[in-house]
Amino acid sequence: MKRQAFLSATLSALGLTPAVLVAAALVYPQAAAADEATARLTLTVTNIAEHKGALMIAVFDAAGYDADKSVAAGMVPVAGDTATTTFDLPPGQYGIKLFHDVDGDGKMGTNPFGMPIEPFAFSNNAPAQFGPAKWDAAKFDVAAPATSHAIKLN
């Protein structure tokens, strides 16, 4: 508990609020420190049609998937047909939700009926049927020391 209080006080003194730390994790997910209890997930997204904007990626565990509470997130600038990023995670089962923010507004574009108009995808290339892909279709194992996963953008 003393360590947590010290860390909190130190971060506050440096002007680093939780919002700043979250923003840094979103932009630089690969900057997380790796240790023996961590598995490196290398994610490759293919089939990117428009070479602009950024991929907005969220990684979920079973508890957070339906609640949209990610355990890791990242933003990857798009410059070609394929984009790759890494996440350091504890070994376990995860699901990914992502979309291509083509217009750069930080939000998934939708039509008046709430249907996505920007490309999106889920881990395992799980299909979206009347909403996001289900956990059972999207989940996959991440094992130490490293796991690779590919997702085809719709």
Task: Output 100 or 25, whichever has higher pLDDT.
Answer: 100
pTM of this structure: 0.76
Q: Is 9's pLDDT higher than 50?
A: no
For the stretch 95-141, pLDDT in tens is 999 999 999 999 999 999 999 999 999 999 999 988 999 999 999 99
Task: Output 42 or 23, whichever has higher pLDDT.
Answer: 42
Q: In the predicted model, what is the mean pLDDT of residues 29-44?
A: 73
Domain 26-152: state its class: mainly beta
Task: Output 154 or 135, whichever has higher pLDDT.
Answer: 135
The per-residue b/e assignment along 41-67, b for 16 or more CB within 10 angstroms, e otherwise, is: bebebeebeeeebbbbbbbbbeebbee
Count CA atoms closer than 13 A to 16's CA, side-chain side.
Answer: 11
